Structure 1
Amino acid sequence: MSGPDEPTAAPRSEAPQSEAPRSEPVDLTNCNREPIHIPGSVQPHGALLAVRADGDLTVVQVSANIGEALGHEPAATIGRPLHDVFGRAAAKTVRDVVRTAFDLREASPVDLVLGDGDDLRRYDALLHRVGGQIIIELQAARSARPLSYSVTYARTRQSVLRLNSSRSLTDLYDVVVEEVRRLTGFDRVMVYRFDAEWNGEVVAEAKLDRLNGFHGLHYPATDIPAQARALYERSWLRLIPDVDYRAVPLVPAVNAVTGGPLDLGDAWLRSVSPIHLEYLKNMGVTASMSISLLRDGRLWGLIACHHYSGPHEPGYEICAAAEFLGHLFSLRLVSRENEQTLESTLATREALDRLLAEARSDGAALVDVLTADGTNLADLISCGGVAVAIDGEYRTFGAVPPREALRAAFDALATEGAILACDALPRDVPHLAEHRDVACGILAFRLSGDEGVAWFRPETVRTVDWGGDPHNKELLAREGTGVRLSPRRSFDRWREVVRDRARPWSAHDLAIAGELRQHLLRLVYPPARRGADLARLMQESLLPERLPTIPGFEIEAWYDPAAAGRVGGDWYDAVPMPDGRVAVIVGDVAGHGVAAAGTMAQLRNALRAYVVDLDPADPWPARGVLDRLDRLTAALLPEAIATVVVAVTDPATGLAQVASSGHPPPLLLPAGGEPVVVEMEIAPPVGAWLLGLRSARPRARGAVPDGSGGGLRRLGDFGDFGDFGWTAQVRLAPGDALVLFSDGLTERRTEAPDVGIERLRAHAAGAASAHPDLRSLGDSLFRTCRDPDNDDDATLLLLRRRPTGHP
């Protein structure tokens, strides 16, 4: 198993560094729980130093083999400034890069000459930041330095030309494995592709003639667990020059800055799981390398390289060139896939246009148009049958299950307004298994109540060739009196017949279904209802599909629209900034309906742009973006009024700078104390000059604990303090959380605003300990504090710094 390291027969997940605890069953799923980013050791083909990100770059932690590179044993380097360890010239080179580089990984490798007198050695230094520290990895330079055109681009020129001239996906696959093998010298190079459920398939390989083939073999999703896939997205290149290496521990074992093990998730030299190494040895692999293939920032697959005739270590410049080819391949892949789908997309678009034109004309009922013998819904999405229920009419085309089975599928799987897509109904709704011959898969949406559209696909029985039995996960080997996990030794082809599955629905299918739903909403409902639905769709489309990953932090959000389907202007966001900080935002536009949703869209997008465009040197970023947003509103949205709170957070330090325009101040949930409302000055709302407030340059004081046991002081009166002269700073220690919310979560008609905020604060005090999981904590806060009779939107966003030592 490989995890974030090199695949085996194809990729295998990394497993525990040590034997599984005796209290747990011996099972390959143990690798899901291993903190693979903190192994506490590195591979020996280089040396590592962790230094404080301070002026002297003081050494905090080193690999035990540092003496081989520097002539200084670990004890003689810890606590010393880098210039004492590297020499002043080399230390200055590193310091200059740290001070000026936007991304240290992009600035690597740094060419360093270390040593004294006649004992001078040249190194490639790879740099990255983690936990308030700079990680420096030293690898001996193999070829002439500094790197030049002749040893970088020229190595890949032929490969680039071949990739550019390929005409199909198959050509692309073949070219990239051939060129990576030519460049790196590995005995076998494969392209390994994930499917929608993270099962993998070897879709191309280039190899020595004497080796058996892996092309066409599949591997189960459990071979590469989610945490390993996350590391593949984080670190794109992985090399193991010798599977028989002896791991080099870090000294000291506990990092003095973090108080725990050093995060090596981005480290080139990070040590590898022993079980992963055992898998490679079982296969006869002696060295390996993997390159991540990404599409739209998400892991698509891997280029997997194996060697069988002893250790194999391509120079760093070779590895970097291979990584470049991997990225270029990913770009070409997206382009070729888009070209292949364009033709079918155009045909679908023509059919949709014809169908909508007929639907808008007078005459036949809409359900009859959608299921007619001519152009109908089956021409939009390939299927075995279609069912449509609109305006009390029910029609079908092709082979469909009974209507009660359709209702049962919706009741079990669907939510209002969402697209339902399932290709394994017998698995997800077992009592519908009897209809697998016509309805093993369903793609559907509701319009409202019992109205909606559904496409069905029958069961597609297929055979899958696996690299070994994917169900045999518990092979045990006795060692003395104990039992430990032993990776399987057989990777022979194992054929499985897959049943109870339909042909999967593609992203294009889902997009067409979503577009059709929007058109039908316009056709079916009167203008008032249509306006409400469109506003809701607009708001739903503008809320983030998923929040970004923030190193060292957890983030979750909740949103509930207004009662009776009324759409307001609430929104939440989390925007990564170019300098590594993240701005978390909650806003609330006054009003409801399309106008409020439209204003929200403009303010949200403008605020995103201002956050991304922030000057890194601006000492008050949260204040600055709200200032610019207010000027935009005054100039271009004169009727708009909104409240907004922004918290610009530095993941490295935990420092959050908070500013608010008329919005309730956030709560701070300390890991080991009572929640408090952040004490801060609150500006008038964005656009508040309409109320005569901005012209006086006022601000209001936020509600804060009154010091008498958890109560709150009321918001103060406005005063003349100058425009945007307020910002609060909160440092989130490990385990601390920041709670941002809209007034729809806390306010009730019969209460003063402070009462609802205090209710949230008081409930958070008990809920934080009762619900250590952030999602369940937010569920509890939302469920308890949200007034079911409130006719306003409600939003909640939680940002928590992970406790020390948690992955």
Structure 2
Amino acid sequence: MNIKNIVNRDLVNLTNCESEPIHIPGSIQPHGFMLGVNSQNYLIDFCSENCAEYIGIPPQMILGKTLTDIFPAQESDGFKEYAAAERIDSAKPFVFSKDDISYNTTVHKSNETLILELEPFPDGTVNLPNLYNQTRTFVSIMEKTSYLPELCQEIANETRAITGYDRVMIYKFDPGYNGEVIAESKRQDLNSFAGQKYPHTDIPVQARELYIRNPLRMIADINYTPVPILTLDDASGKTNKSLDLSLSILRSVSPIHIEYLKNMGVGATLTISLLQNQKLWGLIACHHYSPKILPHYTRLSALLHGHFLTSQIAVREVAEEFEVSQKVDKSLADLLSKLHENENFVEEYYRDESLLKLANATGAAIFLNNKLYKNGITPADGPLISLFHFLADNFKTQGLVTHALSHHYPEGRTISQQAAGIVYHALSGNSDGIIWMRQEKVETINWAGNPDKAVLPNEEGLRLSPRKSFELWMQVVKDEGAPWRKSEINAASGFSYALQKHINYRVIQTQEDANRALNEELKTANQELANLNWISTHDLKEPLRKIQIFASKVLDREDPDLSAQVKDSVGRMRLAAEKMQNLIEDILAYSKAGNMEKVFEEIDLNIILKNVLRELQDNIEERHVTIHAQELPTLRVIPFQIHQLFLNLISNAIKFTDPDTAPDIDIKVNIVDGSAINEIISPLQKFYGISFKDNGIGFDAEYETRIFDVFQRLHPAHKYPGTGIGLAICKKIAENHKGLITARSESGNGSTFTLFLPVSLS
């Protein structure tokens, strides 16, 4: 049999203590002994080296044996039943006995190993009357204390009375895990640590994690000699075994921590974790200046104090927050009432004291339309306006809440006497915003030793060690204000939102007044346009008809007295009149496409296409046009407008084809996603894409968008007559149907016009 210990011998110092494996030290404290039992076969795989000191049996006679080989069979069988429970009750340890000595045995599971920690005990049974008195004391404390600091002091007093430690401290962590002693109960001859702070380096990350997993930790004697844990070699002769002792009571402590406690002059400690939301809120730290073993049930009583305090932390913090929030909400309600009742609130009520009270601020300022409105203690106008510009450039979207403005804005140090901390929210304008301010609160922090010298080289200079000095070291903190409470931040946010709405309402009201005046102007302009339409329809078309009639009569007479030059001029005059008449009719058609009442009907587009082809029958036969058309859908449309659109597209396809080429028109339809048309349209919207492809003369790609502009012509009028309005009408009709039309072409290779109409017209 070859026995080896599993002591972790990695060199540890403060350069690597953040990664020290403190949960697997491979050793225990000597005020008890330990057995590691396989949970499957109950063979003893591990034992501490000091077993013989307690039960008179050396490790070589324990390892590989069963509990029945060590303890009475009745107790061993009883333990199996105890350990087989769904949840092992660590508060009620199992009791083993050997040679008339009883051992409280706390049990927990580490992977497949049951870890048994056996301590000889003087308090074999729990004293129920004492538990009753302890509970009654808790209730009494709860009733007589209103605030958390008072409660913590009472718990410190009670914990010291129960445990007998020389000093009991309640230790609270800040967000950076620097700790502060917020309550203390001590021997009269000891110096007080109350109010002192300790840097986060005093408790490394992995130690804090263990405090979360195991809420109670005892060191009975700082000067103890660690007891190795032993195990048998495996068949290969290599021992890589380790035991996770995170939940252990006897677990040996980091040598760094021991050195730290020795430097403090402490002889024994008890630490109880205070948790909130699965995070370490603080500790109950008990110090004794000589060795001290606290029996199991006394430890439980102390732990009960920790549970009681933990249960009350959130309640008391919420109660304190609620008290503040009630006052804050009252000021907010008062201010919102004035805001809703007064159109010119900013100008009339910016000095209202409720503006400060809603965030418990010492100053406030509103910057609106390049004008500053100040309330309370504030910086001078110049620096304050510069601050508004900085905040608008950097925090316009998310706002800024800070108790230390200079951390975000270096120039903030120059105004910290008035605005060390701020709550900022942007308003609608470029640099418009509102700021609540708090004056600088110069604070003296009492550190237990210089935090910058928390680690120092040891005497040999070989490694870093914990500091040896815990003398009071004072640090003066400037350029910071009191932290903002959650209720204050929420109230400021709520008011800022309401103020933004108020300002927007004023802007909208002003805009509405301007729009009202503009609407009156538009009505007048529309009336004038209607008159122009009437003139175009009647007063202009009638003279044109007369010009055409008289010109035709002159030409029809073929008077011999008329020279060829006169006849040519009259002919040109008649053609110009016809062109002008066509132009007027197209302008009217374009105007009607946008202004006529839009009456939608469910109609088969194939019917509209047949009607258009019938209307163009003469043209189709004359030019030998070939038309291929797929089956078109049934849609809700404005029938006469879609008729006009189809007519324009097919007419253009026939017109703009080389005279020597028979026009060929291919009409196809498919369904496309909106995003396939352009990136602006939602991919969830579906469209029918109806394309008209021809073999005409085409046009350059650069005109694919401009071709839909009014009066846009790409070809000479004498060769391809027209007014240049037809495609503009097509575009207007597509827009009337919440769709659009596109063109794709290449000069000499035909064109494709695609009409996109929504599948569902909402």
Is it true that 1:65 corresponds to 2:50 in the alignment? yes
Amino acid aligned to 1:40: G
- CA drift at 1:181: 1.3
State how 1:198-597 maps to structure 2 within 5 Å. Answer: 198-252=177-231, 261-308=242-289, 310-361=290-341, 363-364=343-344, 372-388=350-366, 395-398=373-376, 399=378, 401-409=383-391, 414=395, 416-417=397-398, 420-445=400-425, 453-479=434-460, 483-516=462-495
Aligned 8 A contact 1:427 1:500 in 2: no
What secondary structure is seen at the aligned counterpart in 2 of 1:486? strand
- CA drift at 1:183: 0.9
CA deviation string 1:452-471 (max 9, x = no partner): 54323232222122222222
* Runs (5+) with no aligned partner, structure 2: 1-7, 506-682, 685-762
Is it true that 1:36 corresponds to 2:22 in the alignment? yes
- Determine the structure 1 residue equivalent to 2:92: 109
Amino acid aligned to 2:362: G
Distance change >3 Å, CA 114–CA 42, structure 1 → 2: same
What secondary structure is seen at the aligned counterpart in 2 of 1:244? coil
> How far apart are the structure 2 equivalents of 1:459 and 1:354?
28
Amino acid aligned to 2:214: S
Distance change >3 Å, CA 352–CA 58, structure 1 → 2: farther
> How far apart are the structure 1 equivalents of 2:32 and 2:435?
58
- CA drift at 1:288: 1.2
Amino acid aligned to 1:143: D
- CA drift at 1:215: 2.0
- CA drift at 1:441: 1.9
> How far apart are the structure 1 equivalents of 2:388 and 2:211?
40
Aligned 8 A contact 1:17 1:274 in 2: no
Aligned 8 A contact 2:29 2:250 in 1: yes
- CA drift at 1:343: 2.9
Structure 1 range deviating more: 438-447 or 491-500 = 438-447
Distance change >3 Å, CA 60–CA 433, structure 1 → 2: farther
Distance change >3 Å, CA 524–CA 78, structure 1 → 2: farther
Distance change >3 Å, CA 164–CA 252, structure 1 → 2: farther
Aligned 8 A contact 1:160 1:325 in 2: no
What secondary structure is seen at the aligned counterpart in 2 of 1:39? coil
- CA drift at 1:150: 3.7
- CA drift at 1:209: 2.0
What secondary structure is seen at the aligned counterpart in 2 of 1:100? coil
Report the count of equivalent residues: 493
Of 137, 149, 154 in structure 2, the residue corresponding to residue 175 of structure 1 is 154
Of 55, 71, 74 in structure 2, the residue corresponding to residue 89 of structure 1 is 74
What secondary structure is seen at the aligned counterpart in 1 of 2:338? helix
Distance change >3 Å, CA 407–CA 223, structure 1 → 2: farther
What secondary structure is seen at the aligned counterpart in 2 of 1:268? coil
Distance change >3 Å, CA 344–CA 424, structure 1 → 2: closer
- CA drift at 1:77: 4.1
- CA drift at 1:318: 0.6
Distance change >3 Å, CA 515–CA 174, structure 1 → 2: same
Identity of aligned residues (%): 34
- Determine the structure 2 residue equivalent to 1:530: none
State how 1:685-724 maps to structure 2 within 5 Å. Answer: none
> How far apart are the structure 2 equivalents of 1:469 and 1:300?
23
Amino acid aligned to 2:91: S
- Determine the structure 2 residue equivalent to 1:129: 109
CA deviation string 1:51-86 (max 9, x = no partner): 4443x3444433322344555444444455555555
Amino acid aligned to 2:441: T
- Determine the structure 2 residue equivalent to 1:161: 140
Aligned 8 A contact 1:20 1:484 in 2: no
Aligned 8 A contact 1:39 1:271 in 2: yes
- Determine the structure 2 residue equivalent to 1:604: none
Structure 1 range deviating more: 383-392 or 212-221 = 383-392
CA deviation string 1:741-786 (max 9, x = no partner): xxxxxxxx99xxxxxxxxxxxxxxxxxxxxxxxxxxxxxxxxxxxx
CA deviation string 1:512-546 (max 9, x = no partner): 345556666877789xxxxxxxxxxxxxxxxxxxx
Amino acid aligned to 1:113: F
What secondary structure is seen at the aligned counterpart in 1 of 2:453? coil
Aligned 8 A contact 1:289 1:304 in 2: yes
What secondary structure is seen at the aligned counterpart in 2 of 1:363? coil
- Determine the structure 2 residue equivalent to 1:639: none
Distance change >3 Å, CA 227–CA 321, structure 1 → 2: same
CA RMSD of aligned residues (A): 3.7
Aligned 8 A contact 1:445 1:517 in 2: yes
Distance change >3 Å, CA 421–CA 185, structure 1 → 2: same
Amino acid aligned to 1:405: L
What secondary structure is seen at the aligned counterpart in 2 of 1:313? coil
Distance change >3 Å, CA 364–CA 242, structure 1 → 2: same
- CA drift at 1:381: 0.9
Distance change >3 Å, CA 472–CA 107, structure 1 → 2: closer
- CA drift at 1:313: 0.9
- CA drift at 1:339: 3.6
> How far apart are the structure 1 equivalents of 2:184 and 2:113?
40
Aligned 8 A contact 1:172 1:333 in 2: no
Distance change >3 Å, CA 135–CA 358, structure 1 → 2: farther
Amino acid aligned to 1:385: G
> How far apart are the structure 1 equivalents of 2:44 and 2:490?
53
What secondary structure is seen at the aligned counterpart in 2 of 1:212? coil
> How far apart are the structure 1 equivalents of 2:368 and 2:85?
62
CA deviation string 1:542-592 (max 9, x = no partner): xxxxxxxxxxxxxxxxxxxxxxxxxxxxxxxxxxxxxxxxxxxxxxxxxxx
- Determine the structure 2 residue equivalent to 1:186: 165
Aligned 8 A contact 1:70 1:114 in 2: no
Give the structure with the larger helix fraction: 2
- CA drift at 1:330: 3.1
Amino acid aligned to 1:384: T
Amino acid aligned to 2:222: V
Aligned 8 A contact 2:171 2:182 in 1: yes
- CA drift at 1:265: 2.0
What secondary structure is seen at the aligned counterpart in 2 of 1:478? coil
- CA drift at 1:497: 1.6
> How far apart are the structure 1 equivalents of 2:71 and 2:367?
75
> How far apart are the structure 1 equivalents of 2:449 and 2:117?
37
Aligned 8 A contact 1:127 1:135 in 2: yes
> How far apart are the structure 2 equivalents of 1:386 and 1:186?
50
> How far apart are the structure 2 equivalents of 1:410 and 1:128?
57
Larger Rg: 2
> How far apart are the structure 2 equivalents of 1:498 and 1:114?
59
- Determine the structure 2 residue equivalent to 1:47: 33
CA deviation string 1:2-47 (max 9, x = no partner): xxxxxxxxxxxxxx986557xxxxxx56432323222222111122
- CA drift at 1:319: 0.9
